[in-house]
Every structure is written in C-alpha cells, then in structure tokens.
Amino acid sequence: QVQLVQSGAEVKKPGASVKVSCKASAYSFTGYYMHWVRQAPGQGLEWMGWINPNSGGTNYAQKFQGRVTMTRDTSISTAYMELSRVKSDDTAVYYCSRGDVGDFMVWGRGTLVTVSS
C-alpha cells in the first residue's frame, strides 16, 4: 500500500541542523509533490513547504525561508527536510505528506525532533 516511512527521532543542540528523511513506496514518487508539516507539543499543524520531486523545485513558507531546505533523491524515492540553526521552539513532530489535489491523503508517522542544550 502507499506508504511514507520517516527517519527516527532526533535530539539536537541549539544552533545545529537536523535532516529528516521520508521514503515513499507503492506509488510514483515523481508524480506528487511532497509537503512537510510540523506540530509543536500541544499545538496545531504548521505547513513548512513543498518540493516537486520531479523537478526539485521548492516553495517554502515565509516563516522558514532561509532556514529550511527540501531536497529529494529520486533513485531511492526519498524526500528530505533539513532545518538549520534550530532553537528550542523548533521542538516538534515533523510530518511528510503527499500532496494530492490540494489535500493530504497520505502522511508519514512523524519524526520527533527535540532541541535541547
């Protein structure tokens, strides 16, 4: 079945970078945009941006521009989200989600990123 498998939990110190991966299976990886959404503890969903796996083109939410980089490796059907200069309020669960016709039908299970000194 269609699946997005994300990398494991990370603990980072303030100022470091974190890179989360999202491996797609059972569908054409280059046929759908991949989005990244995060959720801080006890908070709502926050969209971070998307990557077009076919072209590599990206669109980032203004809040994250300059700090986030989304990439992909089509040979292994994997998307990546790297967040730099992390702070304590970047502590959150980070989800990848396949973009369908405006909605998000398929989600990864999430990757907990903890930023702590």
Partner 1 sequence: SYELTQPLSVSVALGQTARITCGGNNIGSKNVHWYQQKPGQAPVLVIYRDSNRPSGIPERFSGSNSGNTATLTISRAQAGDEAAYYCQVWDSSTVVFGGGTKLTVL
Q: Which residues bind partner 1 (CB under 8 A)?
A: 35, 37, 44-47, 50, 59, 61-62, 95, 100-105, 107-110
Q: Which is nearer to partner 1, 16 or 45 (CB)?
A: 45
Q: Which is nearer to partner 1, 89 or 103 (CB)?
A: 103
CB of 40 to partner 1, least distance (A): 12
Contacts of 87-91 with CB under 8 Å at 24 or more apart are: 87/14, 87/115, 88/14, 88/115, 88/116, 89/40, 89/115, 90/18, 90/115, 91/40, 91/41, 91/115, 91/116
CB of 103 to partner 1, least distance (A): 4
CB of 117 to partner 1, least distance (A): 26
